[in-house]
Structure 1
C-alpha cells in the first residue's frame, strides 16, 4: 500500500508540474514576453478563474469540516489526523490539480508542493477507508503520501522521510521507516520515469568550505533567523488584513491588483520563482532580476543588492497575498526562493564591503535556502537534507549545519510555533512529538463527563436527602444546586456518615449544613484536557464538577479520566 501511495503521490506531483508548466509556456508566448509586457494583469485573471471554479463547480465539494482558520495544506492534514481520524474527501484528490496550476501558472507567487501533498494524502486516506484500515495506519499512509509528494517534486527521498517524521511527529521506528522508505522510492522512480534525471537545481560546487568562512556562515544563520521571524510575522499580518474584507470577491480584487503592482516593479515575483534561483546559482543576477525600472543602474553592485533585498522583502508579501486572495499553492518553494536571494545578498555584501574577504556566492545562495526553511517551518533536518539532495551539495554539510542550527535556534526561541502550527496550537489541535500532549489533545471531554448524579437542593432536610438521594444513588457524591441549576456545593457520603442514622437530626438539619465547596472546577468551554488533568493533579481530588455556561453540567472522575487516557495512549504507541 505504501508503494501504491508513493506512486500515486508521484503521479499527482508530475501532473501538477506539467499542467502548470503548460499554462506558463502558453502565457509567456502570448503575453508575458510581448512588447506590451502585460504580465502583471495575469494574477488577477488566474485568481478570478480559481474563484469562479470554487464558487460554481466546487461549491458543494470543498471540505466543510475543516475550520476556517486553517488555510494551508499541511495544517489541514494535521487537524484531520487529530480530529477527523485522517478521513479526507476523495474530491481533494483532483481539486488541487486544477486550482493550483491556475494560481501559479497565471503568476501567483506560491509553490506546488502543498497541493501535491493534499492530493496524495487524499488518495492515501481514501485507500485506507476502502481497505478498512485503522486510524494509526491511516496516519502512517498519509505521511507516506506526503513523503512521496516531496520525493517526487524535488527528487529528494531522504529529505521526504525526514519531513514526514518532523512535521507529522512520527516515531522513527522500523514500523514507520520502512513504509516511508518504500513510498519515497516509488515516488522518486515515478518522477524519473516521467521527468528524467534532472535535479531541481543544477548546482556545481566550485568553492569548497574552509575554516575561515565559518564566521560568515554564522552571520548567514543570524540573518536567515531574523528573516524567518519577519516571514512569519508578515504572513499572519497579511492574513489579518484580508480578514477585514467581507467577501471573497473583494479579497480577490485587492489581492490580484496588489500582486500585479508588485510584479510590475519586481518581475521575478512571478510564479514559483525557481528560474530566479537557478540564475543566482549561475552567477547571472542581471537575468534573475529581469527587466525593471532600474535597468540603467544595474552596473552598480549596490543597486543590485538593494533590488535583491527588495525581492526578499516582497516575496513573502506576494506569496501570502496570493493565498489570502483565494489562490491555491504551497509555502516551501517560495521560502526556498526567498532564502536563495537572502543568501546571495549576504555573500555580495561580504564581497563588496571592502574588508578583503571573498566568499562563494553560489554556496551562500544554496545555504541561505536551508537557513530560511529551517527557521520558517522549524524542520532543521528537512532543510539540511532537502537542500543537499536537490543540489547534490553534500560537500557543504558542515556550513549547512552551522547556518541551519543558528537560524532554527533563533526562531524557535522567539516563536514557539510556525505558520503550519501556530493557529492549531492556539486552539489545542496540534500533534507533537510529546505523546502525553498528543493523547490529551486528542481526547474529548464529553467522553469522560458523567451525569448520573442525584442533585440536592440546599434547603432539603437531612431526612429528605437520605430518602431521596442516598438511598437511590450508587454514588458517594452529590452535587448541591439552587433553583437556577447553579452549583453551590457538594456533599460526600463521608461528610454525613457519622450522623446519617441519628434520626433526631433528620428535620433539624439541612443539606446546607453539610455541603462544602469542591476543591476545583472544570470549565467546559475553556479547559483543555491538559488543564483538566493538571487540576486533578493539583487538587488531589477524585471527582471534579463540570460547569457549562455558568451552570452545573456533570462530574469528571479521575478513574474514568485515567482509563480513557490509557485507551487513547495505546493508539499513539
Structure 2
C-alpha cells in the first residue's frame, strides 16, 4: 500500500497517467463527433450517470443501515438506552471534524447549494462532493442524527452528473441535464421509484418539462432503479391497502388542511434551526452541544432516532404499540389518549430534532423528516377519529397520504409527492386521496410563501430566484462576448495626443492602464464629447477627463450576475478584469444578443427530441 502511495508521488507516473487520461478523452471525443449526434451522446452519458448515481445511493443507504444497527446494539446494552444521549453528538462531531480537517470545508451541503450552482455557477459542482456526502451523512444519520439521506444522495448524484459534463466539456445546459439525471438516479435508487425521481428533478432542480430534459432523466432514473434491484432489492415501505371509501373524503380534506399548516411549520421552524444553533461557539462546541440536546430528545422520543423509517414501517403495518419500544413512558402509553398526545408530540418534534441535527453541523436533509412528520400526522388524524368510535378510518391509508401532503406542501412539488408515495407504498389505488391531500396542502403552503423550503432561503440570502432566465443566461460564457479590441491610453497622455488616437479608431470607450496592466479608469467619449474639443483643455491630460467606472466585471462572474449589474446601474459597457488585470470590455448589447442565441439554441435542442 505504501509503495502504491509513493508511486503516485512519482512525477513521471503522474505525467503518464495524465497523458493516458487525455488520450482516452480525445479518443472518446473522436468517436463521439464522428459516429454520434450530441443527442445520442447525452443519452449515453445519462446511462453512465444513472449507474454510478444509483451505486452511490445504495452504498450510502447500506452504510447508514449498518451503522444504525451498530448504534442500536450499543444502546440495547446500556441502562434505559442512555447511549441515545451521546451517540448523535459523536456522529455530528465526527462529521464536522471530517468537513473541517479532511474536506477543508469544501463540501456543499443541501439541495439549495445545487440550485445555486445551477443558477450562478453554470452547473459546476466540485469533484469532492461525489464522496464527501457519503462519509458525513452516514456518520450523522448512522449514529442517530434525526435527518434524511435524500439531500446527500441528491447532492452526490448531482456532483457525478456535473463532473461527467465537465470532463466532456459539455455546455452548461447539458451539464444541468446530467446533474439532474444524477439526482433522479439517486432518488429512484433509494425509493425504487423511477417516475418520482424524474419528477423531483423536473419540479425542484430544473423547473420546466421539456423532451430534451425528460428523456435523459428517465433513462438515468431507470438505470438507478435497475442498480437498486440488483444490489439492494428491499422495498423501503410495504403497504397492503384495500382502497379508499367515499365516506372518508371529508377526513382526507381535513388531513390536507392540517398538512398545509404543518408544512408551513416545517418550513419556518426547520429553516430557522438549520441556519445554525450556538452560532457564537466554535464548530466543535456547537456540534457537541447540539448533539447532546438532540440525544436527550431522542431518549424521550426514540422514534426520532435516525431517519425514523423503522417506526414508520411499523405503524404502516398497524403496529402502533411499536411506539412504546425503548421509551420511558411505555406504561403510560397504554392509555389511548396519552398515546394520541404522544403521536402529536412526534409530529411537532421531528422537525425540531432535524433542525438541531443540521444546525449543529450534521449533514442530512429535511426530506425524510418531512415524510415522517406527514406520516404521523396522518396517523394522528386516523387514530383520533377512530377513538371516537363513530367512524372507522383505514390508518395505513392516512399514514401514506399524510406523507404526500407534507411533501407537497414543503417542497411545492405535488406531482413528486403523489407519485413518490404511490410508488414506494404500492398504493396506486390511493391516487384520488393523494391528489386531494397533496393539492390542498400545496395551495395552503403557497399562500404562506411563494417559494419552497429550498428556494426560500436562497431568495432571502443569495438574491437568486427560480425561473429559466438564470439558466439561459448562465449558459453564456463571458469569454465569448468580451471585446478585446481596445486602445489603451496612459493617464499622462495629453488631450492633443489623444486627438491623434481618436482619428484612428471608432471606439467610444478607452481604458486607462497602469504599467502592470491594472485598470486606473476609463474615458467615455459620449460623456465628454463637448468638452473634448474645447481648446481650454487641449493641454490637459487624460487624468483630467478619465473617470472611475461604476463597477468592474470579474472574468469568472456568471452572466446572470453581469446582467443584473447592467440593469442596476443603467450602463451599456463595463470593463472586465482577470486576476486584477484588465482584459477588455463587455457590452449589454452583446450580452443580450448572446442570450437570444442561447434561447434559439435550446429551441433547436427541443426539436432534436421532438
Using the size of structure 1 for normalisation, the TM-score is 0.80
Secondary structure of the structure 2 residue equivalent to 1:272: coil
Distance 1:217 1:247 in 2: 46
Q: Secondary structure at the match of 1:87?
A: coil
**Cα contact 2:243–2:430 (8 A) shared by 1:** no
Q: Which residue of 1 aligns with 2:129?
A: 92
- Seen in structure 2, the aligned counterparts of structure 1 residues 568 and 107 have a Cα distance that, compared at 3 Å, is same
- 8 A Cα contact 2:298 2:305, kept in partner: yes
CA-CA distance at 1:564 after TM superposition: 3.7
Note if 1:262 corresponds to 2:294: no
Partner of 2:47: 3
Alignment of 1:37 with 2:81, yes or no, is yes
The aligned residue for residue 405 of structure 1 is 439
* Residue deviations 1:254-311 (CA, integer Å, cap 9, x gap): 1111111101211111011001111221222221343433333323322112111111
Aligned twin of 2:347: 312
2:506 aligned residue (456, 470, 474):
474
Deviates more, 1:271-280 or 1:31-40: 31-40
Answering whether residue 273 of structure 2 is matched by residue 238 of structure 1, we say yes
Residue of structure 2 equivalent to 1:368 = 402
Q: Equivalences for 1:96-115 in 2 at 5 Å?
A: 96-115=133-152
Asked if the contact 1:6/1:183 (under 8 Å) is kept, the reply is: yes
Cα distance in 2 for residues equivalent to 1:16 and 1:186: 17
The structure-2 alpha-carbon separation of the partners of 1:85 and 1:220, relative to structure 1 and needing over 3 Å to count, comes to same
Match of 1:53 among 78, 93, 98: 98
Contact 1:92–1:122 (Cα < 8 Å) also in 2: yes
CA distance in 1, matches of 2:203, 2:145: 28
Q: Which residue, out of 251, 272, 275, partners 1:216?
A: 251
Mapping for residues 154-165 of structure 1, pairs under 5 Å: 154-165=191-202
CA displacement at 1:394 relative to structure 2: 0.9
Instruction: Kindly indicate whether the alpha-carbon contact (under 8 Å) linking 1:104 and 1:272 is maintained by their aligned counterparts in 2.
Output: yes
Shift of 1:506: 4.7
How many aligned residue pairs are there?
Answer: 536
Provide the secondary structure at the position in 2 that maps to 1:242: coil
Of 126-135 and 333-342, deviating more is: 126-135
Partner of 2:20: none
* 1:348/1:437 CA distance change after superposition, 3 Å: same
Q: Does 1:300 align with 2:339?
A: no
Matches within 5 A, 1:325-344: 325-344=360-379
Matched, 1:200 2:236: yes
Structure 1 pair 12–321 and aligned structure 2 pair: CA distance change class (3 A): same
Structure 2 gap segments, 5+ residues each: 1-44, 512-519, 541-549, 555-559, 576-581, 604-610
**Secondary structure of 1:426 counterpart:** helix
Gaps of 5+ in 1: 480-484, 512-520, 547-552
For the 8 Å contact 2:161–2:180, the answer to whether it is kept is no
In the TM superposition, what is the alpha-carbon distance from 1:128 to its structure 2 partner?
Answer: 3.1
In structure 2, what is the Cα distance between the partners aligned to 1:287 and 1:334?
19
Listed as ranges, the matches of 1:49-88 within 5 Å are: 49-56=94-101, 58-60=102-104, 62-63=105-106, 71-72=109-110, 74-88=111-125
Q: Identify the residue that residue 562 of structure 1 maps to in structure 2.
A: 592
For the 8 Å contact 2:118–2:471, the answer to whether it is kept is: no
Match of 2:128, SS state, is: helix
Paired with 2:123 and 2:267, the residues of 1 have a C-alpha distance of 27
Report if aligned partners of 1:136, 1:571 keep a CA contact under 8 Å in 2.
no
| Structure 1: distance between partners of 2:331 and 2:527 | 90
What TM-score, normalized by structure 2, do the two folds share? 0.76
Q: Which has the higher helix share?
A: 2
CA distance 1:508–1:18, shift in 2 (3 Å): closer
Deviation for aligned residue 1:246: 3.7
* Cα shift at 1:188: 1.0
Report how far residue 253 of structure 1 moved. 1.5
